[in-house]
Structure 1
Amino acid sequence: MLISLCLSGAALGKDDGDDEEDAGKKEPALPNLYLDMRTIYSTVRAGSLSIGFSTPPLLSTLTNLSSLRTLTSPSSRSLSVDLPLTVDVNDRLSVYGGVSGATSQAGTDPWTTFSIYAFTVGFQADLYQQNGGMFPTITVQSNATRSISDSPLATTAYNTILEAGYALDADETRGLLAGMQYTRVLVDSPFARVSPDIMGYVGGYYQWDNNWKFTGRVGVQSFGGAQILNLTPFPAFTQPILRLDLDRMDDDDNRLFGITAQIAWAPKPSYQLTLRTPLYAIKN
């Protein structure tokens, strides 16, 4: 699928270039291809499930049978790595797929062995681009994550974000954001149930002349609660969430480095710190 999209995107880019008056300017022969490596450190309070803007900490908890015992501990923490291979087909569409691995520790127990626990496929697309107009850019990002586990608590998570971004200047270096996220987690076991998580947020971004970009989002997430094996109930809550991003971009708006801090009240504060270090094989 990735190869077909790459070839079709490159072909469409070539056809559009032929129709331009400036025939001397050629479109890139190949799209961006990179491993969008993300290293995530998370903390979760006892008796809570952390969803927030990403689902890996939640999935790694549900798919680890030993975590059922440790969920009653004072707190737990995890270190996970996401390795999605990403293809920027063009400036409107990106597709990705890859695996995630994690190690976790709860209470006074030792850290678990690092292991691959899930794989993810997804896409991000601009349904409409502002390009100096009066209507905001509309972006949709959707993915499906399947746990790699023989446990009866194996899960499949579906996550979709719809975001509107309104640029306040022609260069799109500052603007406003508003969006919604819907997360649905399905557990294979008939004795476990996770209700949907719905989030609404607003925010904004600013990019300096040196290509450092800051983005902030604040919102409210409403989680319907979860119950696992009729032993460990997770109550429903509606609480605030905060996410701050600092990214280093190049002159073509390719991300070179990023760091994200998130605080999600679930209902007690859970913290997440993410380092994003793309490893480019092809960069235009």
Structure 2
Amino acid sequence: MSSLDPHVPVDAQQDPWLLFHGTSNLFESRVRKEGLRARKPVFSIDQLTAVADIFEALSWSGEHPGGYAVLKPFSIGHDFSQRRGQPIFLAESALRAATFATADFAGGEVCRALSYCLADLERYVSDDVLREKHYERCERRPGMSRLPREMLPTVDFVATALAKLKPLVERVAALRAQYTCGVIYAIRISPDNLDELAYHSSMGIKCFRAIRVAELESSFQIPSDYEPPVFEEDKRLIEIAMGEDGIVNTIRQLDAQLKTSPE
């Protein structure tokens, strides 16, 4: 069926009323004791903004698609702007959750984005070819967005800004170094306890309450060398949860009722 079969039983993957959460060994002990709950952010909004500001000063989005392109709109623009507080993100399938249990996501999504951002900035300082490519790209921009290289911050500016972020660089590296394996939690939520759940087409299920230990039906370890799932297989499994009698479809119907009901 899929590369996850040895780790997550087939019946769990095909259960339309199970949701999944992928994380790592870093948080396993606490989850077993407390369940899943929104925790105080590991990194502050000021730290995230300090990194994003360097990219904006350079008029550069970096090289890695998981870096600034994630940090700015999602980590800063979405995660820190939730009126109801930080949600717990749940996946419609074990395969989708498994992506967030890989070594690439060690420390969480924000930690991952910061890691790629900081690596891009360090490379910008040390790689003459990369900088030249960026300069040429800026000079080729059409119209008013054209940016002569003389107007861009110097390499010394970027190096100095990075030096000020040394504690953040060390914190990110330390978190990612602690990864030994991934963990997927299978979560069973009863039909009469869906009020604090909301469906998002690209982010899965957002849960705005703590998930009790009793709701954690089972957990599965994912090895450190696990490869992310194949999209088509993931899509098929998600369709199970989105079926007529599945939990995702039920949540979507509740969302629709809330949007159409008079205040």
- Normalising by structure 1, what TM-score? 0.20
Structure with the larger helix share: 2
- Normalising by structure 2, what TM-score? 0.21
